[in-house]
């Protein structure tokens, strides 16, 4: 039995310059503009593993949003971004500080509380936030209802999007729970009539919030599986993939028959082609690519197996795929084995 998380088999297989899970470059794969190929020379976008949920608010408070039709994985959305994309409050973004089944708590007050017309997206993309200004000095901005982590916004741009000092911006040198400090002074100080936006960029159209310019190779994120302990079939941990995503592991094989297997499971929010185990990067051992796919329904563990007969010793890639349509649902994998 292979330990999926041992150093030998935990290979992330990231290309040079490929962003990490906390990189501000996450989300570049969602752009449909040129270049057409990503940094791995694959057609863009390969997938949208960073988009997790969408829906409509059923209610909200100044610092929360509820959707009674959803079963959010409790606590697993902390640090993700929620954006209102339609209806009341359209355009607002907040960082999720806490979540429970059907309810999300954000990092400060909404500018406008969402209602049942408000459509939202939750994604692990370019982090951003917007909110009302409580007060400011020539080099600071205070949001007294914020709950920021220390220096979380360092290097981001804070732009005033309405009210006094609208259009002015500063680059953040640091922050505490409620106060942002700039590297330079405001051109004109904001006040309690102002609203701000925090983003990686200028916050203007094609260069700001949730946008990354096309670059040579354009950074796309793969290998987004995370280790979790809430749903396992053996041992104390398994891995999970949100929505439409995949994760690759390099595996050594020997000549002769090799049976590769893994246990798969997907939840009731998953839809579309069922999870798969795909063997790729096979040319060095003289075999064709092969894929095994789950057949059972949701909330049931099932073993996925493929058999290969390499011509000799070498390295292959085992790709775990979650193909949920609309990037919703969670897939789990456990008990990786070669026999």
Average pLDDT across each block of 10 residues of the chain; the chain has 339 residues. List them in order: 39 50 48 54 51 86 93 82 88 88 91 94 76 95 91 87 92 92 93 90 44 49 75 86 80 87 89 87 82 94 93 88 69 90
> Is 226-338 in CATH node 3.40.50.300?
no
Look at residue 328 in the predicted model and tell me its pLDDT: 60
Domain boundaries 51-123, corresponding CATH code? 2.40.10
Domain ranges of the chain: 51-123, 129-199, 226-338
Asked whether the domain spanning 226-338 has the same topology as the one spanning 51-123, the reply is no
Q: CA 247 → CA 35, 97, 228, 304, distances in Å? A: 24, 27, 15, 16
Residue at token pair 């953040």: 172
Q: What are the helix and strand counts (H, E) for the chain?
A: 0, 23
Measure the CA–CA gap between 131 and 137, rounded to whole angstroms. 17
The pTM of this model reads: 0.52
Residue 223, classed as helix, strand or coil, is coil
Look at residue 315 in the predicted model and tell me its pLDDT: 87
**How many CA within 13 A on the CB side of residue 120?**
31
């Amino acid at each position: 039995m292979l330990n999926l998380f041992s150093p030998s088999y935990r290979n992330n297989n990231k290309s040079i310059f490929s962003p990490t899970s906390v990189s501000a470059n996450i989300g570049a794969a969602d752009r449909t503009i040129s270049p057409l190929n990503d940094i791995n020379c694959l057609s863009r976008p390969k997938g949208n593993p960073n988009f997790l949920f969408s829906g409509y608010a059923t209610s909200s408070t100044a610092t929360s949003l509820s959707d009674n039709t959803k079963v959010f994985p409790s606590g697993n959305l902390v640090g993700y971004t929620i954006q209102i994309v339609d209806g009341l409050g359209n355009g607002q973004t907040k960082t999720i500080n806490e979540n429970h089944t059907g309810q999300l708590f954000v990092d400060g007050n909404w500018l406008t509380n969402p209602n049942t017309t408000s459509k939202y997206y939750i994604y692990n993309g370019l982090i951003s936030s917007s909110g009302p200004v409580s007060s400011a000095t020539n080099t600071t901005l205070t949001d007294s209802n914020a709950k920021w982590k220390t220096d979380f916004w360092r290097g981001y741009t804070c732009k005033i999007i309405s009210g006094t000092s609208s259009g002015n911006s500063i680059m953040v040198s640091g922050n505490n729970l409620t106060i942002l400090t700039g590297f330079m002074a405001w051109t004109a100080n904001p006040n309690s009539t102002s609203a701000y936006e925090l983003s990686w960029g200028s916050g203007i159209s094609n260069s700001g919030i949730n946008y990354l310019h096309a670059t040579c190779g354009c950074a796309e994120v793969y290998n987004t599986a995370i280790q979790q302990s809430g749903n396992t079939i053996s041992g104390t941990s398994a891995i999970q993939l949100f929505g439409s995503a995949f994760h690759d592991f390099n595996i050594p094989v020997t000549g002769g028959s090799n049976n590769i297997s893994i246990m798969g499971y997907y939840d009731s929010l998953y839809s579309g082609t069922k999870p798969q185990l795909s063997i790729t990067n096979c040319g060095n051992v003289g075999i064709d690519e092969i894929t095994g796919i789950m057949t059972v329904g949701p909330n049931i563990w099932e073993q996925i197996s493929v058999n290969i007969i390499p011509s000799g010793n070498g390295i292959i890639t085992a790709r775990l795929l979650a193909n949920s349509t609309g990037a919703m649902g969670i897939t789990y994998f456990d008990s990786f084995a070669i026999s």
